[in-house]
Amino acid sequence: MFLVFVSPFWFLQDVAVKVYFGNQCGETNLLDYKKEIDIMKRLRHPNVLLFMGGASSQEKIAIVTEYMPRGCLFKALHKNNQPLDLKRRLRMSLDVSRGMSYLHRRNPPIVHRDLKSSNLLVDKSWTVKVGDFGLSKLKHATFLTANSGRGTPQWMAPEVLRNEPSTEKSDVFSFGVILWELMTESIPWKDLNPLQVVGVVGFMDGRLDIPQELDPRVSAIILECWQSEPELRPSFEDISRRMAEIILSLGGLTSRKNSV
C-alpha cells in the first residue's frame, strides 16, 4: 500500500511525497530501495520526473519528487473538462517517447515495466514527464491473480501478460497503447475486465482498433509498437524522431526544445 501527498515545505517549493507501507518495506526491499535511489538521483531530463530525495525505515519508505500540478496524464485526458487539441496530444506523446528514450539509453538501461497514462505526470505548461519508473522491486511480483483481478494489464505487452521477462521492448508496446489512448481519447479495453485483457492480448494476440481517420504515420508507429515479436518493435529514439517529424509537419514544434 502507498500514499501520495503534497508538502509545501521542501526548501520553499511544493513537492510530492509517495509513502510505501507494510510488507513492501522488508529488509530485501530496503536494500533494493537504496540501490535504485542511487540510480534515480542521477537522472536529469525534462521529460523524466525529478527525484528530490527519500527516506526509509522498517515500517515505511518515502520518495520525494517534484510536484506536477495537473496530475497524471490519465486524469488530464479522461477527466478534464477542457478537451486537448491534437497538436498538444501529439506533443505529449513526444514527451513520453523522449523521456523513455533517455531511460533506455542509461547504462544499464532502465526498464519501466509499468508504463501507463496514470504513471505519466503533467506540469502546469502541459509537459509530460515519466514517473514511477524506479523502485520496481516495491511493486507486487504478481500484478494480476484470478482471485484479486488486481493490476492494469490494459497497457502491458503480451509477453509480460504471459509472465515472461520485461525488456525495453515491453515498454515500447505500452507506449503504443498510450499513443492510441492519446489519439482516440479513449480508455484502452474499457469494456473488458483485467482477466479478459490478459486472455485477448497475451494469448489471442488481440489489439485495439485503430481509427481509419488517424494520420497514417501515427497509425504506423502504433502498429510497429504492437508487434508480437518484441525485437521487431522500434526503439524510443526512432519513435521520438518520427513523432517530431509529424509534429513539425503540422507546425507544432515551435515552442519545444529538441531534447531526444
Give the residue among 133, 101, 104, 137 at the shortest CA–CA distance from 119: 133
What are the CA-CA distances from residue 66 to residues 3, 46, 55 (Å)?
16, 12, 16
What are the CA-CA distances from residue 29 to residues 119, 135, 183 (Å)?
21, 9, 38
Radius of gyration of the chain (CA): 18
Sign of the CA dihedral with 115 first, then 117, 121, and 125 last: positive
- DSSP for residue 58: S
The Cβ of residue 149 has, within 10 Å, a number of other Cβ atoms equal to: 12
- DSSP for residue 68: -
What are the CA-CA distances from residue 4 to residues 101, 126, 128, 129, 132 (Å)?
27, 21, 19, 17, 12
* Residues taking part in catalysis: 114
The Cβ of residue 224 has, within 10 Å, a number of other Cβ atoms equal to: 16
Residue type for 93, please?
A: S
Residue listed under C-alpha cell 521529460: 47
Sign of the CA dihedral with 105 first, then 111, 117, and 122 last: negative
